[in-house]
Amino acid sequence: MRYDNVTEIIGDTPLLRIDPAVHGLRSIDLYAKLELFNPFGSVKDRAAWNMVSPGLPDAVERGSQVVELSSGNTAKALALIAGMHGLGFKSVTNRMKVPEIKDLLLLLGAEIEELPGRTECLDPADTEDPLTRFHQALAESGGAYLHTDQYFNARNADAHAAGTGPEIVRDLGGRAPDFFVACVGTAGSSSGVARVLRAHNPEVEVVGLVAHKSDFVPGIRNIDEVKEVGLFDPAVYRQIDPVTSDDAIDGMLTLVRRCGVLSGPTGGAAYFGAVRHLRRYEDGLRADDGERRSAVFIVCDRIESYLGYVRKRRPALFGAESRGESVASVSQEEVAKAFSMDVAGARRWIAEEAPLVVDLRSPFAYAALHIDGSLNIVDELFEELVRGGLPFSRSRPVLLACPVGERSARYAALLTRLGHPDVRSLAGGIVAWRDGGGELVGE
C-alpha cells in the first residue's frame, strides 16, 4: 500500500464480525464498521474531506481560514486538512466539553473560539443566539472563511452515501444488512448510509441513537438538540432510542476488553444500543424462523481522548474509590419526587424566601443572560462538588436552574437524597423562565 497523500487513506474501513459468544444473539450476525481506522481517527474524516475539498483551491488562493462549528472529530479532521494546505482552522463552539480534544486541537494549530450561547447548541430560529449570528456572519464574509457547515451541508451525508454505505454492502457480499444502528450527531453518517442500504433493501431497520436528555455522550446530541440539525430527517429512522453515558461506557468496555476494538464512547453506545434493540427483536420473534439476519453498527472513533470522561464517571476503573454520590445514580422515581417549581411559583419564592439560585449552565450561557443574583456552577463542576457531600448549608433553600429543567431536577433529587431539606428545580429551566417573562440580566 503506497500513497502520496494522507487523504487517499480515508475510507475503505474494515467490517468486523463480533463474536456471538460476546453479544449472545442467536440468529443475528452483528458487525462493527470500524471507522476508527480512518487516518485522522474517526467517521468524520470522510465528511470533513468531502465538505472541504471542493473549496480548497479557492481558499488556498485567497488564504481563507477553514471554519466549522465543532468541538470534536470534525474539527480535528479539518484542522489537519487545513494545515496540510497551509490554511488556518478555527473551531467555533459554545462548549468545549472534552479537555483532551481541546488540547489536541490547540496542538494541531487550531484557533478555538468559544462563543457565549443563549442556547447550548445552534438554534437557527433564535436570531439573538451568538452562535446563530456567527453562522450568518460567516455566510456573508465574502471569502475570508471556508465554512464547511456540517449541520446543513448535504456533502456531509453524501460522503457516507458514496463510501461508508457501499462498503458495507460490498463487505456483506452485495446485500444490505437487516438492521443498521448508528449514533446521531449531525446525522450525516446515519442518513447517508441509510440511503444506500434502503436502495438495496427498502425494509432495512435503521435505529438512531441519541443521548439521554439529562446526560452527555461526546459526539452525539440529545433528542431535543437533534431536531435543530438541518440534516436530521426523522423519516430516516424506524426508531430513535436514547443511550446514557453508562450505556456507552458499558458497550465501550465490551468492545475494548472482549473484542480488541479500541472504541470510544459512541462506538460503545452503538454496540449497546444495537444489542439492546436486537435482543428485543429476537424476543419478539414468535418462533425461530430459521433465518439468519445481519446487523451493522458504527464504531466512530477511538478511546484515548475520553479517558478523563470515563474516569469522572467510573473512577473505580482507574483504581480510585468513588467518594460520594453521583447524579448518574439518581433513579427516575427520585427525579419524579424532587420538587419542581414553575416560573410563576419560582418568581414568588425568590421574592419571598430569597433561596440561593444556582445556575448549572455553561459560563458562556450564564454570562449572556441569567437570573439576577444567581450563582453559576457549571454542571460538571457541581457534580464534582456533590461527590464531596452536600455543598450548601441546610438552612438556606436552594433553587437549581439549567437549560430546560432536566438536569436541575436530577440534581435536586440528589441533594434531597443527601439531606437538604428544601431544594427545588426550576421546571422548564432558563428557557421557560425567559419565555414566561422572567427577568434575565447579562454581565
Ligand X SMILES: Cc1ncc(COP(=O)(O)O)c(C=O)c1O
Asked whether position 184 contacts ligand X by CB under 6 A, the answer is yes
Strand ranges for 281-368 from DSSP E: 293-299, 339-341, 356-359
Cell, residue 184: 446521531
Of 14-22, 56-64, 187-195, 314-322, the segment contacting ligand X by CB under 6 A is 187-195
Of 188-196, 244-252, 279-287, 413-421, the segment contacting ligand X by CB under 6 A is 188-196
Phi/psi at 135 (nearest 5 deg)? -55, -45
Contact 160, 131 (CB under 8 A): no
Nearer to ligand X, 298 or 377 (CB): 298
Full strand arrangement of the beta sheet holding 28-34: 15-17, 28-34, 293-299, 179-183, 205-211, 239-243
d(CA 425, CA 416): 11
The only residue of 64, 190, 222, 362 in contact with ligand X, by rule CB under 6 A: 190
Altogether, the residues listed in the chain come to a count of 443
The only residue of 116, 117, 177, 188 in contact with ligand X, by rule CB under 6 A: 188
Asked whether position 210 contacts ligand X by CB under 6 A, the answer is no
Asked whether position 251 contacts ligand X by CB under 6 A, the answer is no
DSSP 8-state code for residue 6: G
State how far Cα 78 lies from the chain centre.
Answer: 18
Asked whether position 130 contacts ligand X by CB under 6 A, the answer is no
The only residue of 11, 41, 116, 219 in contact with ligand X, by rule CB under 6 A: 219
Name the strand (E) or helix (H) holding 281.
Answer: helix 265-284
Asked whether position 186 contacts ligand X by CB under 6 A, the answer is yes
d(CA 44, CA 42): 5
According to CB under 6 A, which residues from 289 to 308 bind ligand X? 300-301
Minimum Å distance from CB 399 to ligand X?
34
Asked whether position 13 contacts ligand X by CB under 6 A, the answer is no
d(CA 310, CA 325): 16
Name the strand (E) or helix (H) holding 242.
Answer: strand 239-243
Q: How many residues interact with ligand X (rule CB under 6 A)?
A: 20
Nearer to ligand X, 184 or 343 (CB): 184
Contact 236, 246 (CB under 8 A): no
Cell, residue 285: 420473534
Residue with cell 475510507: 11
The only residue of 7, 13, 50, 266 in contact with ligand X, by rule CB under 6 A: 266
The amino acid present at 50, given as its one-letter code, is: N
Asked whether position 50 contacts ligand X by CB under 6 A, the answer is no
Nearer to ligand X, 266 or 408 (CB): 266
Asked whether position 158 contacts ligand X by CB under 6 A, the answer is no
Residues 58-97 as x/- pattern, contact with ligand X by CB under 6 A: --------------xxx-----------------------
Of 38-46, 84-92, 98-106, 427-435, the segment contacting ligand X by CB under 6 A is 38-46
Of 18-26, 184-192, 242-250, 280-288, the segment contacting ligand X by CB under 6 A is 184-192
Asked whether position 117 contacts ligand X by CB under 6 A, the answer is no
Asked whether position 343 contacts ligand X by CB under 6 A, the answer is no
Nearer to ligand X, 56 or 69 (CB): 69
State how far Cα 44 lies from the chain centre.
Answer: 13
d(CA 277, CA 239): 10
Binding site for ligand X (CB under 6 A): 42-44, 72-74, 183-190, 219-220, 264, 266, 300-301
